Structure 1
Amino acid sequence: MKKVYHLSTCSTCQRIIKELGIGKEFIYQDIKKEAITPEQIDEMKAMAGSYEALFSRVAMKYKALGLKDKQLSDQDYRNYILEEYTFLKRPVFVIDGKIFIGNSPKNVAAVKEAIS
């Protein structure tokens, strides 16, 4: 299975998808229009090793909710991602049982290698 969790309104997500040249071989899930389910986040966690690895600390609400000053558990990270889509580090690519999280150049290069 090849899937990408992204935001259609995020220019970074769109740039990366375009740069990778991926098409209809991927299932696209716009996380703003189609919320992540508990099953999906649990599946991602199983591949990533923790919910924290999926959590974005650059989300606007991270500072607004004062989360930077709190000690969060793995369950807290899970709950925040399920409550607010912006807490998912994006884009997330799932390619044949492997997960690639975020938009770092290293991660994009790893996705490019996985799909070639």
Structure 2
Amino acid sequence: MKRIFHLSSCDTCKRILKELQPLEDFELQDIKTEAITPEQLEAMVALSGSYESLFSKRARLYQERKLKDQNLTETDYKALILEQYTFLKRPVILMEDAIFIGNSKSTIAKAKEKIHS
């Protein structure tokens, strides 16, 4: 499976998708209009190793709910990501045996190299 979980209203995601072109054989999933399923999240965790690695601590709701003051468990991270799309660090690029999470330059460079190799 080749899939990119992104937010179509996010300028950073738009820039990254443009940078990664061409994206032949990739399915693009706008997480705002097409929610992440528990199965999809499990597939991400199988490659990433933890729910926390997929969790965005930059999300506005993270600040509003004062989640940084709590001791969140892997179960909490999972529930929050499934509850609200903004808690997923994005984009998440899935390719059979590889996952690239977030928008750091090094992550995107590695994803681009893997996509075009």
Q: Same fold (TM over 0.5)?
A: yes
- 1:69 corresponds in structure 2 to 69
Take 1:47 and 1:30, find their aligned partners in 2: how far apart are those partners?
20
- 1:20 corresponds in structure 2 to 20
State the shift of 1:43 in Å: 1.0
Is 1:106–2:96 an aligned residue pair?
A: no
Take 1:39 and 1:25, find their aligned partners in 2: how far apart are those partners?
20
- For structure 2, list consecutive stretches of 5 or more residues without a partner in the other structure: none
- 1:3 corresponds in structure 2 to 3
Take 1:107 and 1:100, find their aligned partners in 2: how far apart are those partners?
6
- For structure 1, list consecutive stretches of 5 or more residues without a partner in the other structure: none
The alignment's C-alpha RMSD in Å is 0.8
Which secondary structure does the structure 2 equivalent of 1:56 belong to? Answer: coil
**What does the per-residue CA deviation read over 1:54-86, in whole Å, with 9 as the maximum and x for residues that have no partner?**
000000000100101000000100000000000
TM-score normalised to structure 2 length: 0.96
- 2:55 corresponds in structure 1 to 55
Number of aligned positions between the proteins: 116
Q: Which runs of structure 2 are paired with 1:35-46 in the superposition (5 Å)? A: 35-46=35-46
Shift >6 Å, 4+ stretches: none
Which secondary structure does the structure 2 equivalent of 1:61 belong to? Answer: helix
TM-score normalised to structure 1 length: 0.97
User: What is the identity percentage for the equivalent residue pairs of Structure 1 and Structure 2?
Assistant: 54
